[in-house]
């Protein structure tokens, strides 16, 4: 078997054997290890699993991981381990301190770490939290530089000086400084220097209300929202409030400085009642014209769509700036209820999936 054919045979699994040929014994062991994990895809499609000793019910996840480490190079084994935890939820791996010690902190693992933390043995919770914190720190470092750049950049096109307006003309000082320029023939002062009083404009703070759907499909968006909220809450003249919802509503504003604490409040899954969450967020708005309301959801409303759209209409009427985000992650590829999102858009809510970096830029354009 040629090298390309061998690789494709391992990628496609046992169902490609008739077309691509058989493997040697070492390659068969590799195939068995891959099938233990990815054979779950066949079961999910209604196909039968492998008949033999590597049936998932007859080998523990830890035994499988031990075999995989002997068969594959480290980079491949890391990917297998990542998929086992994040894609197939083999939480048995997270129960082993030695496995946890060897896991490379990656964002893809964070949802599994958060899910397992609540039911993990007390002895493991500190280790799980430390691993999750490493991932959060990576995301925080990446996003903070973008937020700082967005909010510290020169955006003078949004500022208009009122120094030379007639309302600020200082006629007394102007006369005093130009008395020597009196023209007897014209009987008037030819002013060379005009003086104006400076006015200090009071800057009212902006309030950013993040209303985040914590259903299972929104996991990455919840993570990025929590990290962004922590960064934004440290900016001057910006107040951040954050609400998580499914069929209930949890206000996590008091936890925003610690994204891990915020995310540990998340219970991924469950139904969705967007209108109920938006009604609660209405109560958090005291200055509508200085408020940005960002709804992070897939727009699949389990409650009353009419109720939800009613809140959108009221916020638009009160001049709250609204943004609907079907996704707040790095992919930008989302599946969402386009009909309901379109109806919300027609009532005044801007709709658009975007990465956290572009969301930061958008906020800076509005606020500065």
Q: Which pairs count as long-range contacts for 37-46, CB under 8 Å and 24+ apart, including other chains?
A: 37/64, 37/80, 37/83, 37/84, 37/88, 38/13, 38/83, 39/13, 40/88, 42/13, 42/15
3-state secondary structure of 241: strand
The 8-class DSSP code of residue 73 comes to -
Are 353 and 326 in contact by the 8 Å Cβ rule? The answer is yes
pLDDT of residue 357: 87
pLDDT of residue 54: 45
pLDDT of residue 58: 59
Q: Model confidence over 49-94: pLDDT tens digits?
A: 544 444 444 567 777 877 888 888 877 877 888 788 777 777 777 7
pLDDT less than 70: residues of the chain: 1, 42-59, 153-169, 171, 196-204, 216-217, 268-270, 331-333, 368
pLDDT of residue 213: 92
Are 317 and 282 in contact by the 8 Å Cβ rule? The answer is no
Task: Please give the biggest Cα pair distance in the chain.
Answer: 114
Residue 219's contacts (CB-CB under 8 Å, 6 or more residues apart) are 111, 268
Q: What does the alpha-carbon distance between residue 68 and residue 30 come to, in Å, rounded to a whole number?
A: 8
Compute the chain's Rg from CA coordinates.
29
Q: Which CATH superfamily is domain 206-367 in?
A: von Willebrand factor, type A domain (3.40.50.410)
pLDDT of residue 337: 92
Pairing of strands 249-251, 206-213: unpaired
Q: What does the alpha-carbon distance between residue 234 and residue 344 come to, in Å, rounded to a whole number?
A: 31
The alpha-helical segments, DSSP class H, found in the chain are 3-12, 17-20, 25-44, 61-71, 74-86, 97-102, 110-117, 122-152, 171-177, 219-232, 259-264, 274-282, 305-317, 338-346, 356-367
pTM of this prediction? Answer: 0.68
Nearest to 353 by CA among 343, 339, 338, 365: 338
Are 230 and 242 in contact by the 8 Å Cβ rule? The answer is no
């Amino acid at each position: 078997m040629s090298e390309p054919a061998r690789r494709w045979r391992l990628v496609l699994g046992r169902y490609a054997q008739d077309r691509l040929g058989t493997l040697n014994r070492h390659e068969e062991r590799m195939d068995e290890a891959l099938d233990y994990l990815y054979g779950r895809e066949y079961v999910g499609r209604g196909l039968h699993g492998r008949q033999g000793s590597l049936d998932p019910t007859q080998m523990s996840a830890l035994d499988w991981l031990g075999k995989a480490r002997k068969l594959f190079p480290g980079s491949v084994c890391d990917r297998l381990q990542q998929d086992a935890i994040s894609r197939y939820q083999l939480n048995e791996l997270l129960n082993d301190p030695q496995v946890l010690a060897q896991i490379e902190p990656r964002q893809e693992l964070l949802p599994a770490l958060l899910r397992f933390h609540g039911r993990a043995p007390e002895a493991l919770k500190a280790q799980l939290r430390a691993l999750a914190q490493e991932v959060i720190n990576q995301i925080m470092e990446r996003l903070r530089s973008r937020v700082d750049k967005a909010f510290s950049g020169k955006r003078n096109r949004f500022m208009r000086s009122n120094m030379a307006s007639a309302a600020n003309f200082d006629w007394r000082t102007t006369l005093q400084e130009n008395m020597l320029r009196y023209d007897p023939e014209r009987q008037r002062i030819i002013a060379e220097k005009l003086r104006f009083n400076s006015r200090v404009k009071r800057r009212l703070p902006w309030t950013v209300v993040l209303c985040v759907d914590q259903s299972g499909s929104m996991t990455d968006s919840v993570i990025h929202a929590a990290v962004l909220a922590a960064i934004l809450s440290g900016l001057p003249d910006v107040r951040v409030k954050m609400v998580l919802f499914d069929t209930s509503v949890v206000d996590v504003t008091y936890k925003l400085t610690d994204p891990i604490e915020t995310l540990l409040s998340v219970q991924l899954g469950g139904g969705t009642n967007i209108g109920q969450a938006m009604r609660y967020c209405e109560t958090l708005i005291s200055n509508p014209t200085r408020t940005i309301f960002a709804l992070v959801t897939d727009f699949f409303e389990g409650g009353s769509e009419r109720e939800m759209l009613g809140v959108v209409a009221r916020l638009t009427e009160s001049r709250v700036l609204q943004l609907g985000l079907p996704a707040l992650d790095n992919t930008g590829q989302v599946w969402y209820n386009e009909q309901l999102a379109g109806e919300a858009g027609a009532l005044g809510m801007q709709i658009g999936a975007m990465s956290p970096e572009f969301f930061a830029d958008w906020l800076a354009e509005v606020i500065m």
